[in-house]
Amino acid sequence: MPNIDIPQLDPLAILKGQSALVTGGSSGIGKGVAIEFGKAGANVAVNYSHKADEAEEIVKEIESFGVKAIAVKADVSKEEDVVAMFKEVISTFGTVDILVNNAGMQKDSPFHEMSLEYWNKVIGVNLTGQFLCAREAVKEFLRRGVKKEVSVAAGKIIHMSSVHEVVPWAGHANYAASKGGIHMLMQTIAQELAPQKIRVNAIGPGAIKTPINRVAWETEEAYNDLMKLIPYNRIGLPEDIARTAVFLASDYSDYINGSTIFVDGGMTLYPGFRTGG
């Protein structure tokens, strides 16, 4: 059996020398991930689709950690935007080592009233966008190969999924379908590309305190209702997701491939069954 080298890492700079692209990085979970990556020593490209000023503020914060950062505009559902985005990031940083496929959206509706526009928009950003970005990242990983002084992997992809890749969600058929699709997309890519030392995993957030779900936590009544779904009895924060993303992007997680890590305070434990079933 060949010798297996276990990397020795500096826990305070475990992504040092690597470059990451975080899609949807200008707010919410993406913002948290982008900032945490900068703290961990990575250069970071912050993707946004609008509100350039917010993205530039995040860039400034990341640069304060002594690393490089740029803001790059792209609609991830559009192939030409994604190709141009990767070209800009690679031109700036020299390569991309980590992709966080985070950009996502909701357009909710009762199923029988859901328009094709709502369906296509959510699937386009949440699922097709992740396909397009992953494809361009893989092209770069294969071109460059492994550089052991940077990472034992040729590249890392982290798909941002949801507890709703396994938990049905009435009134959100397009969103839940997109997350279920992400699960199989992630596992299929992981299976196909593992021999090339490309690691592909996912994070499944539960209820996270971000602007997209403000209605679920901004009042005491709403928050108390939400806690019925979370055994750990607190809402998640972007930092909870970001720290998991740093781990998955680092060589600490080198033997994890094709997995979704649920960061949800126990939401996927189906807490309604605590008192019966």
pLDDT for the residue 12: 61
Confidence check: pLDDT of 230 > 90? yes
pLDDT for the residue 46: 98
Confidence check: pLDDT of 239 > 70? yes
Q: Which residue has the higher pLDDT, 178 or 2?
A: 178
At residue 202, φ and ψ (nearest 5 deg) are -140, 155
User: Considering its fold, how many domains does the chain have in total?
Assistant: 1
Q: Has residue 128 been placed in a domain?
A: yes
Domain membership of residue 251 as a residue range: 19-264
Q: Has residue 272 been placed in a domain?
A: no
Confidence check: pLDDT of 6 > 60? no
Q: Has residue 23 been placed in a domain?
A: yes
Q: Has residue 24 been placed in a domain?
A: yes
pLDDT for the residue 4: 59
Q: Which of 13-22, 150-159, 188-197, 208-217 has the lowest mean pLDDT?
A: 208-217
245: domain CATH number is: 3.40.50.720
pLDDT for the residue 8: 58
Residue 149, Cβ density class (10 Å: 0-12 exposed, 13-18 middle, ≥19 buried): exposed
pLDDT for the residue 173: 97
At residue 125, φ and ψ (nearest 5 deg) are -80, -50
The per-residue pLDDT of the chain, averaged, comes to 94
Mean pLDDT of 102-128: 97
Q: Has residue 29 been placed in a domain?
A: yes
Q: Helix 129-144 to helix 173-193 angle, to the nearest 10 degrees?
A: 20
Chain centre distance of CA 98: 11
At residue 198, φ and ψ (nearest 5 deg) are -105, 125
Q: Has residue 4 been placed in a domain?
A: no
Mean pLDDT of 35-56: 96
- Rounded CA-CA distance 22/204 in Å is 16
pLDDT above 70 covers what percent of the chain?
Answer: 95
Q: Has residue 96 been placed in a domain?
A: yes
What is the reported pTM?
A: 0.94
pLDDT above 90 covers what percent of the chain?
Answer: 87
Chain centre distance of CA 106: 16
In the block, residue with structure tokens 């470059």 = 19
Confidence check: pLDDT of 215 > 80? no
Confidence check: pLDDT of 137 > 90? yes
Q: Has residue 277 been placed in a domain?
A: no
Confidence check: pLDDT of 18 > 70? yes
Confidence check: pLDDT of 209 > 70? yes
Confidence of residue 7 (pLDDT cuts 50, 70, 90): low
Confidence check: pLDDT of 238 > 80? yes
Active-site pick, 118, 175, 223, 255: 175
Confidence of residue 277 (pLDDT cuts 50, 70, 90): low
- Rounded CA-CA distance 82/244 in Å is 25
pLDDT for the residue 206: 95
The verdict on whether 223 is a catalytic residue reads: no
Beta-carbon contacts of 259 under 8 Å, excluding residues fewer than 6 positions away, are 201, 202
